[in-house]
Amino acid sequence: MSRPVLEIRGVTKSFGELQVLHGIDLVVHEHEAVALIGASGSGKSTLLRCVDLLEEIDDGDIFLDGEVITDPAVEPVAVRRRLGLVFQAYNLFPHLNVIDNVLLGIVQGHEVPRERALAVARELLARFGMDGREQDLPDRLSGGQQQRVAIARAFATRPRAMLLDEVTSALDPELVGEVLAAVRDLKAEGVTMLLATHEMGFAREVADKVGFLHEGRLVEVGPPEQVLSDPAQPVTQRFLRRLLAARRM
Amino acid sequence: MSTPDGTASGPLGPDRRAERAAARRARTLRHQGVALVSTLVVLGGLTLLVLTSPGWEVFKGSFFDAEVFSDSFPDILRAFWLDVRVFLIVELVVLVVGLVVALLRTIDAPALFPLRIVAIVYTDVFRGIPTILLVYMVGFGVPAIALGEAADGSRPLDWLPTEPVVLGGFALALSYSAYVAEVYRAGINSIHRGQRDAALAVGLTEGQALRHVIVPQAVRRIGPPLLNDFIALQKDVALIAIIGVTGEAFRQAQIETAATFNYTPLVAAAMLYLCITIPLARLLDHWELGGRAR
Question: A104-134 burial by CB neighbour count: b if 16+ within 10 A, else e?
Answer: bbbbbbeebeeeebbebbbebbebbbbeebb
Say whether B195 and A93 touch across the interface (CB within 8 A): yes
* Closest residue, chain B, to A81 (C-alpha): B203
> By CA distance, what is A163's nearest residue in B?
B201
Binary contact (B197, A91; C-beta < 8 A):
yes
Kindly list the structural domains of chain A, giving each domain's residue range(s) and its CATH number in brackets, ordered by start: 4-248 (3.40.50.300)
Going by C-alpha positions, the residue among A141, A148, A143 that lies closest to residue A126 is A148
User: What is the pLDDT at residue A127?
Assistant: 94
Predicted pLDDT at B291 = 55
Q: Do A87 and B194 touch (CB under 8 A)?
A: yes
Query: pLDDT grade, residue B293 (50/70/90)?
Result: very low
Using alpha carbons, list the distances in angstroms from residue A106 to A70, A118, A154, B149.
Answer: 24, 9, 10, 60
- Report the pLDDT value the prediction gives residue B106, as an integer from 0 to 100: 87
Average pLDDT over residues A189-203: 92
Point out the residue among A89, A94, A153 whose CB comes nearest to the CB of B202.
Answer: A153
Q: Determine the longest span between alpha carbons in chain B, in angstroms.
A: 108
Pairing type for strands A83-86 and A217-222 reads unpaired
Question: Does the model's pTM come out above 0.90?
Answer: no
Q: How far, in Å, CA of B104 to CA of A212, rounded?
A: 44
Residue A96: Cβ within 10 Å count: 18
Q: Are A236 and A212 in contact (CB under 8 A)?
A: yes
User: How far does CA B268 lie from the centroid of its chain?
Assistant: 20
Task: Return the residue of A nearest to B203 by Cα.
Answer: A81
Q: Average pLDDT in the A180-205 region?
A: 92
Q: What is the pLDDT of residues B45-94, one digit of tens each?
A: 999 999 999 999 999 999 999 999 999 899 999 999 999 999 999 999 99
Which among B200, B203, B213 has CB closest to A93?
B213
Quick: pLDDT tens for B88-137.
999 999 999 999 999 999 888 888 899 999 999 999 999 999 999 999 99
Confidence of residue B159 (pLDDT cuts 50, 70, 90): confident
Q: Using a CB-CB distance cutoff of 8 angstroms, which residues of chain A are in contact with residue B110?
A: none
DSSP assignment letter at A2: P
Q: How confident is the model at residue A1 (pLDDT cuts 50, 70, 90)?
A: low
Tell if the CB–CB gap between A109 and B208 is shorter than 8 Å: yes
The enclosing H or E element of A147 equals helix A143-155
What is the least distance, in Å, from the CA of A176 to any CA of chain B? 21
Lowest average pLDDT, out of A187-201, A218-232, B152-166, B170-184, goes to: B152-166
Q: Is A169 on the interface with B (CB under 8 A)?
A: no
> What does pLDDT average to over chain A?
93
> DSSP label at B211?
I
Q: Which chain B residues are Cβ-neighbours of A161 within 8 angstroms? A: none
Within 8 A of B200 by CB-CB distance, chain A residues are 54, 76-77, 80
- Put simply, the answer to whether B200 touches A84 (Cβ < 8 Å) is no
Instruction: Say if residue B294's pLDDT is above 50.
Output: no
Judged by CB atoms closer than 8 Å, whether chains meet at B203 and A94 is answered as no
| Average pLDDT estimate for A27-32 | 96
Q: What is the pLDDT of residues A53-64, one digit of tens each?
A: 999 999 999 999
Chain B neighbors of A85, CB-CB under 8 A: 201
**pLDDT for res B227:** 86
Residue B1: the pLDDT is 46
Determine contact: A231 vs chain B, CB below 8 A.
Answer: no
Residues B181, B115: Cα–Cα separation, whole Å? 14
Edge to edge, what strands does the sheet with A67-68 contain?
A18-29, A4-15, A59-64, A67-68
The distance in angstroms from the start CA to the end CA of chain B is 39
Cα–Cα distance between B82 and A144 in angstroms, integer?
Answer: 56
Question: How far is residue A181 from each of residues A175, A177, B1, measured CA to CA in Å?
Answer: 10, 6, 46
Q: Which residues pair with A194 in a beta bridge?
A: A34, A163
Can you tell me the distance from the alpha carbon of B269 to that of B249, in angstroms, rounded to the nearest whole number? 6
Interface confidence (ipTM) of the complex:
0.94
Query: Hey, is the C-beta of A91 within 8 angstroms of any chain B C-beta?
Result: yes
